Amino acid sequence: MIIIESALTDFLLINKLDRKQQRLMANLVNVGEATPYIVNTFNKRSKLRPRLKKFGIYVKLIFKDIQNVSQEENYQQLLDKYLKDIGWNDLQYIAFITYSSDYAQIEIILNRVISETKIIDLKCLKASRRQYKMLHRAYTQMCK
């Protein structure tokens, strides 16, 4: 398992991911809406903190040599558990997935703006050992 995290200056990556991958799930945005509407929804929330230079967080979760787990619902449960465990489940986000019989990749775009007074600090980026343990636990539960 690999966790990659970085800051985003805008939400245009949603357009690219939406063209190449399958939508998995979302929070505080309708996953069934058209891509421009989704990007606009992220931009609206970002305007609550106009002085920020980096509005978003990009997370990539990579699973290699996995069991044959190809049901979208299983990955939704895994992602939901992981985001709850790290405390980001209430953020605005959209997640995309690519998978095969032995590989899965989930890419998540999160809006770090919570309200006019609250944001997610970028100092928390860079996956910790604790995050890997949480992701491993969520993956193990998914495989049962």
pLDDT value for 70: 61
pLDDT of residue 28: 95
* DSSP β-bridge partners for residue 8: 56
What pLDDT, on a 0 to 100 scale, did the predictor assign at position 48? Answer: 92
Q: pLDDT tens-digit profile of 23-82?
A: 999 999 999 999 999 999 999 999 999 888 999 999 999 988 776 566 778 889 889 988
**pLDDT at res. 102:** 78
More confident residue, 70 or 129: 129
- Residue 58 makes CB contacts below 8 A (sequence gap 6+) with 4, 5, 6, 7, 8, 13, 107, 108, 109, 110
pLDDT (0 to 100) of residue 109: 97
Model pLDDT, residue 80: 92
Residue pLDDT, tens place only, 7-25: 999 999 999 999 999 999 9
72-127 per-position pLDDT tens digit: 788 898 899 889 988 899 999 999 999 877 788 999 999 999 888 888 888 777 76
Q: What is the pTM (predicted TM-score) of this model?
A: 0.88
What is residue 108's predicted lDDT score, i.e. its pLDDT? 97
Contact (Cβ atoms closer than 8 angstroms) between residue 86 and residue 128: no
Report how far Cα 143 is from the mean position of its chain's Cα atoms.
Answer: 20
